[in-house]
Structure 1
Amino acid sequence: MPAPTTATATATTNNNPPTPLDFKESDTIPLPPPKPFQPSLRHPASRKSIYDRALSRPPSSTSLPAFAHLFNTLITYHHAKSASVSEIEGRLNRAGYPIGIKMLDLLLYRQGGKAVRPTRLLDLLQFVHGVLWRGLFGRAADALEQSTSKREEYMIVDNEPVVNTYISIPKEMSQLNCAAFVAGIIEGVCDASGFGTEGVSAHWGEGDEMWPGKTIFLLRFQEKVVEREEGIKAAGG
């Protein structure tokens, strides 16, 4: 009986590099290796941004031309989307409202232990007249008055609002007062403090030759706010 035969396979190794593909005759397109990441900012990473500043330290100065340019752009935007003067003022008011909500906490934080959240109506009005105005414009408002006919209405007077300094209003829109933006900020501060309002509006102070840009901010508080205040007074608070 013949001996069985076995087949042996020998493996050969080829250390030569593979033959490169001819991409002209192939559907495969080679991808270049990724480039190292390079930041697009043109200032060094060590330079601090506005987010690195301490909230407790107010800014030393603000560029008035830059503010005037931004505010003019804001007015132009809302003017293009509005059909009347009242609609423009309403849009400006709503634009300032969320700023007032944030300004309350920011100003109280910057005051540290020197200021507390207003709990009485007069304290709130003095806060708006003084602390808020200095935080926004670097000075206090010019006057704080109460209406002689309506107990829920108060007035804050600014003889020369900076928001109207570089605004040119056409004759057909002479009733427009762009300080409605500031009125929205005041309304936001009042609501965030727990003193709800029916609205805050900005009106021209007519008849004042010395201050032709004089603006009166009319604050109309809700009836329940006035009743609460009178109840505290009656209780000896």
Structure 2
Amino acid sequence: MSQPRPPNGPSGAGTNPSVVLPKETSSSHNTTLRYPSNGKTIYHRHLSRSKTAELSQASFAYLFSEMVTYAQRRVTGIQDLEKRLNTQGHPLGLKLLDLLLIREPPRSQSRPLNIITLLHFIKINLWQHLFGRQADRLEKSSDPNALDEYMIIDNEPLVNAYVSVPKEMSQLNCAAFVAGIIEGVCDGAVFPAKVTAHSVGSKEEGEMWPGRTVFLVKFQDEVLEREALIGKG
């Protein structure tokens, strides 16, 4: 006489005991984020709370050098590396524009309405926020065929101070990251532009400012057309 077969367990093996699985937690609790005990996050802070806060240069140097190393491992050449650094800086510029304007006094809390106002905002407000000082100079191209080009000059870019560039990459300028920030500010202010960083300096100036960098700001044609219409008005 055959004996009855035991019921199959969850694994399908007739002789294994059934396994009781724990109930799945709800998706709202399935997260890796950690919140403070008081329930407040960075989004609860007032925007002006960290207005005077500063980051040590040692911390910045470490974070930025690691960021450059991370980008270098994923590119094949100097141009690709500078392009990647530019791309990383662009979203910061978009956010910094709104943050700096919100922190301005109510009377001067308005977006730049022309090219010169925007460039002075970058030279003064943006540089002061990022580096604790203004950029050294602001110039317009004297070339009649390049009326859409402006230059912001920094004699000692902080981003280049702590990055050791090998000889085979001597043409690399890590200030492309700052160029991306400038480009983000221009795009956020609806002055679309292409910004690139260039190492310059004559023989005389090179001894005094070996890391001197020019940020070349080239605005799109639509910006110049709008500027001309405003000038006529």
Instruction: Mark yes or no: TM-score above 0.5.
Output: yes
Does residue 65 (structure 1) correspond to residue 61 (structure 2)? The answer is no
1:97 aligns with one of 90, 94, 112: 90
- C-alpha distance in structure 2 between counterparts of 1:141 and 1:169, whole Å: 23
- For 1:9-48, what aligned pairs fall within 5 Å after superposition? 27=17, 45-46=37-38
Instruction: Tell me which residue corresponds to 1:212.
Output: 210
1:148 aligns with one of 138, 142, 148: 142
Whether the 8 Å contact between 2:35 and 2:41 is mirrored in structure 1 is: no
Instruction: Tell me which residue corresponds to 2:11.
Output: none
2:198 aligns with one of 203, 211, 217: 203
Higher alpha-carbon Rg = 1
- C-alpha distance in structure 1 between counterparts of 2:44 and 2:226, whole Å: 42
2:124 aligns with one of 130, 140, 162: 130
Instruction: Tell me which residue corresponds to 1:164.
Output: 160
| CA 31–222 in structure 1, closer or farther in 2 if over 3 Å, else same | closer
The 3-state SS of whatever aligns with 1:102 is: helix
* TM-fit CA distance, 1:228: 1.6
* TM-fit CA distance, 1:99: 0.7
* TM-fit CA distance, 1:227: 2.0
Aligned residue pairs, count: 207
2:189 aligns with one of 185, 190, 193: 193
Provide Cα deviations, 1:140-162, integer angstroms capped at 9, x if missing partner: 11100000001100000111111
Q: Give me the identity figure in percent.
A: 50
| CA 31–228 in structure 1, closer or farther in 2 if over 3 Å, else same | closer
**TM-score in terms of structure 1 length:** 0.78
**TM-score in terms of structure 2 length:** 0.80
Provide Cα deviations, 1:67-106, integer angstroms capped at 9, x if missing partner: 1111111111111111110000000000101111111111
Q: Which one-letter code corresponds to 2:46 in the other structure? A: A
Gaps of 5+ in 2: 1-14, 23-31
Does residue 176 (structure 1) correspond to residue 172 (structure 2)? The answer is yes
The 3-state SS of whatever aligns with 1:111 is: coil
The 3-state SS of whatever aligns with 2:104 is: helix
| CA 59–47 in structure 1, closer or farther in 2 if over 3 Å, else same | farther
| CA 64–51 in structure 1, closer or farther in 2 if over 3 Å, else same | farther
- Deviating more after overlay: 147-156 vs 58-67: 58-67
* TM-fit CA distance, 1:173: 0.6
Q: Which one-letter code corresponds to 1:168 in the other structure? A: S
Instruction: Tell me which residue corresponds to 2:29.
Output: none
Gaps of 5+ in 1: 1-24, 33-39
* TM-fit CA distance, 1:194: 1.0
Q: How much is the aligned-residue C-alpha RMSD, in angstroms?
A: 2.7
| CA 30–79 in structure 1, closer or farther in 2 if over 3 Å, else same | closer
Instruction: Tell me which residue corresponds to 2:72.
Output: 79
- C-alpha distance in structure 1 between counterparts of 2:33 and 2:115, whole Å: 48
- C-alpha distance in structure 1 between counterparts of 2:165 and 2:219, whole Å: 30
Whether the 8 Å contact between 2:90 and 2:180 is mirrored in structure 1 is: yes
- C-alpha distance in structure 2 between counterparts of 1:50 and 1:63, whole Å: 20
* TM-fit CA distance, 1:233: 1.3
- C-alpha distance in structure 2 between counterparts of 1:190 and 1:214, whole Å: 22
